[in-house]
Amino acid sequence: MDNRNYSQITFEFSEVPSSPENEASVGVRVKTLKTEPEAVKNSAPEPVEAEPEQEPATVPAKKSTRGRKSLKALDAEADLVNIPDDETLFQRQYYSIGEVADMFGVNQSLLRFWENEFDIIQPRKNRKGDRHFRPVDIKNLELIYDLLRRRKLTIEGAKDFLKKSSRAKEHFEMIQSLQSLKGFLLEIKAAL
């Protein structure tokens, strides 16, 4: 007959203790299991009181930032384009890709992707490979941004639109001037 004692240790981590008073809240249970002779094993087992289990603390799920953005999020971002007016924009010959990405509120990788997809965007590259966008490239990017983000066209749809509509830039510039005029008139109305 072998009378060995076996111990089972269970750990419960509900939260990390931040002070010595809270260290007691971290539960460590030790249960001793004894092997008993065969005669006792065959008899009815004694009722064992179960220790109440504590539910683990629930952590609020963090919303993922990966994947596609919703249409509402794209609409909200479409109005956040911060391109200076033409007079200020054409004062400099070149803008770095970081500056242009900040103007549009997009990643630099998206600008590089659009450069590969659309032929009208042709930034200058130095020997190191850094892209320098001219004000004309920024205006073309603004047109592409309008087609993709505001009008919700696909890449292929935007390419077809630019190929078929030779006066697309003129129409876009006219729409922009009318929008600036509308903003000016709304300011006057608010001042009355």
Provide block-wise average pLDDT over 10 residues at a time, the chain (192 residues). 68 60 51 53 59 62 71 68 82 91 90 91 91 91 88 90 76 77 88 87
Return the half-sphere exposure (C-beta side, CA atoms, 13 A cut-off) of residue 39: 1
The angle that helices 108-117 and 135-145 make with each other, rounded to 10 degrees, is 90
Q: For position 45, what pLDDT does the model report?
A: 59
Predicted local confidence at residue 67, as pLDDT: 74
In a domain, 13, yes or no: yes
Tokens of 125: 């590259």
* Co-location of 86 and 154 in the same domain: yes
Q: Tokens 């109305």 map to which residue?
A: 189
Identify whether residues 184 and 144 lie together within a single domain: yes
Number of domains in the chain: 2
Based on the fold, state whether residues 77 and 38 are members of the same structural domain: no
Residue 79 lies in a domain: yes
The answer to whether residue 138 is domain-embedded is yes
Range of the structural domain that residue 37 is part of: 5-42
Residues 79 and 33 in one domain: no
State pTM to two decimals. Answer: 0.53
Return the amino acid letter for 132.
H
Tell me: do 75 and 162 sit in the same domain: yes
